[in-house]
Amino acid sequence: MSNPRGGFEALLFDLDGTLVDSMPLHQRAWVRWFASIGQPLDEDPGFFASSAGRSNTEILADMYPQKAAAELEAMADAKEALYRAEAVAHLQAIAGGLDLLARARAQGLKLAVCTAAPQANIAVAFERFGLGALVDTVTSPADGLRGKPHPDVFVEAARRLATAPGRCLVFEDAPLGIEAARRAGMAAVALTTTLDAAAFSPYPNLITAVRDFTALDQTLLFA
């Protein structure tokens, strides 16, 4: 999984908590949604740590295994509507991420967003920050792919970009995402926007952990 400095051909980015600072908005949306059904969450850090990187339906299916798929989808949609109501006006980019995308694109690297986010959420971020002009493809559960820690979104992105997994570098803010990259045979960089660096230390495919893209040693990417 290791690569020489500047030896990567494709960069694969998670979206929430990696390219966009959406996790505080998602946490508030979850708190509001649980309160609306009479189950106060009280911003439980264990819930947010264990669910980061997973789709809403996967999270809710574990919590409510007796509910039908259609009901789980409706619950997930209600939570995401609360998120988007804030995101359209208040969503911010993670520092340095857009600049890194632009530089990587100018130097010919292939770029993908690999996310568990619903399509409507992806659309909000892409419209707000012009991501469609910066990346080559997007993979998500909307493509029939399993969520992280399954490697599907990364494997499919590499296939679309015609790049060997070992030539891909993944950027993630969740341990489940780093694990998904490991299963895909890809090296990874962790952003400590959601959890501290210690949360990522068990993963052998981890190259480094940084607070945001301004702290990244870009010689890892560019020769």
pLDDT tens digits, 140-197: 999 999 989 999 999 999 999 999 999 999 999 999 999 999 999 999 999 999 899 9
Q: Is the pLDDT of residue 6 over 80?
A: no
- How does residue 40 score in pLDDT terms, banded at 50, 70 and 90? confident
Can you tell me the mean pLDDT for 30-48? 79
Estimate the crossing angle of helix 152-160 against helix 175-184, to 10 degrees: 50
Q: Can you give the pTM of this predicted structure?
A: 0.84
User: Which pLDDT does position 65 carry in this prediction?
Assistant: 92
How many angstroms separate the Cα of 169 from the Cα of each of 3, 57, 61, 84, 106? 9, 27, 31, 29, 17
Closest alpha carbon to 214 in 95, 93, 92: 95
In CATH terms, 10-22+92-220 corresponds, of 3.40.50.1000, 3.40.50.980, 3.40.50.720, 3.40.718.10, to 3.40.50.1000
Q: Is the pLDDT of residue 57 over 90?
A: no
Can you tell me the mean pLDDT for 93-105? 98
Q: Is the pLDDT of residue 42 over 70?
A: no
Q: Which amino acid is at 193?
A: T
Average pLDDT, the chain: 91
d(CA 114, CA 146): 11
- How does residue 15 score in pLDDT terms, banded at 50, 70 and 90? very high
Would you list the DSSP string of 61-101?
Answer: HHH-TTS-HHHHHHHHHHHHHHHHHHHHHH--BPTTHHHHH
User: Which pLDDT does position 54 carry in this prediction?
Assistant: 74
SS3 content of the chain, % helix, strand, coil (to 5): 50, 15, 35
Name the percent of the chain lying above pLDDT 70: 94
Dihedral (CA of 170, 175, 177, 182) sign = positive
Q: Is the pLDDT of residue 8 over 70?
A: yes
pLDDT digit string, tens, across residues 102-145: 999 999 999 999 998 889 999 999 999 999 999 999 999 999 99
User: Which pLDDT does position 5 carry in this prediction?
Assistant: 59
Closest alpha carbon to 153 in 141, 163, 162: 141
What is the arrangement of strands in the sheet containing 137-139, beginning at the earlier edge strand? Answer: 137-139, 110-114, 10-13, 168-172, 187-191, 206-210
Provide the token pair at 147: 């969520």
Q: Where are the domains of the chain?
A: 10-22+92-220, 23-90
Closest alpha carbon to 129 in 11, 21, 8, 2: 21
Q: Is the pLDDT of residue 73 over 70?
A: yes
Active site residue ranges: 14, 16
**Are the beta carbons of 53 and 190 closer than 8 angstroms?**
no
- Looking at the chain, which runs of residues are DSSP E strands? 10-13, 110-114, 137-139, 168-172, 187-191, 206-210
Can you tell me the mean pLDDT for 59-84? 91
Q: In 10 A of CB 33, how many CB atoms?
A: 20
User: Which pLDDT does position 48 carry in this prediction?
Assistant: 73
